[in-house]
């Protein structure tokens, strides 16, 4: 008998069953910093698209707060640089996230690159 999973193991799930399976303490008013609280991503790299505005900025900020080296993929390079500078400036302040190992000082919390 095979124990591997594959296309034959995929079964439809009703939305009611899905809600019963997917439990989370987070809701519509949860912030990105609340979601990553207690997570340590030191030594990891994150790429955030759409990071020049809105939810992309807050996602990048939260990932940087966890110790991840964050690359911002943006269309507007000037806006991306402003976001990266803001994240760098605020990453030294209290962010609400407790990291177990500090980010090395030489690692920038966010870098910016343009995408087409």
| pLDDT tens-digit series, residues 29-88 | 999 999 999 999 999 999 999 999 999 999 999 999 999 999 999 999 999 999 999 999
Return the SS3 of 88: helix
Query: d(Cα 39, Cα 23) in Å, to the nearest integer?
Result: 19
Domains delineated in the chain: 32-114 (3.40.50.720)
Q: What DSSP designation does 53 have?
A: S
Q: What is the pTM of this model?
A: 0.65
Tell me whether residue 23 is exposed, middle or buried, using C-beta atoms within 10 angstroms of its C-beta: 0 to 12, 13 to 18, 19 or more.
exposed
pLDDT in tens, 100-113: 333 444 455 666 66
Distance of CA 105 to the CA centre of its chain: 20
């Amino acid at each position: 008998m095979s124990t591997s999973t594959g296309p034959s193991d995929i079964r439809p799930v009703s939305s009611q069953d899905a809600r019963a399976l997917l439990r989370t303490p987070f809701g519509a008013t949860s912030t990105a910093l609340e979601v990553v609280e207690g997570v340590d991503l030191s030594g990891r790299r994150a790429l955030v698209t759409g990071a020049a505005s809105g939810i992309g900025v807050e996602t990048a900020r939260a990932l940087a707060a966890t110790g991840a080296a964050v690359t911002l993929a943006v269309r507007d390079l000037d806006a991306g640089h402003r976001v990266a500078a803001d994240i760098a400036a605020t990453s030294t302040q209290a962010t609400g996230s407790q990291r177990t190992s500090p980010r090395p000082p030489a690692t920038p919390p966010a870098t910016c690159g343009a995408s087409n």
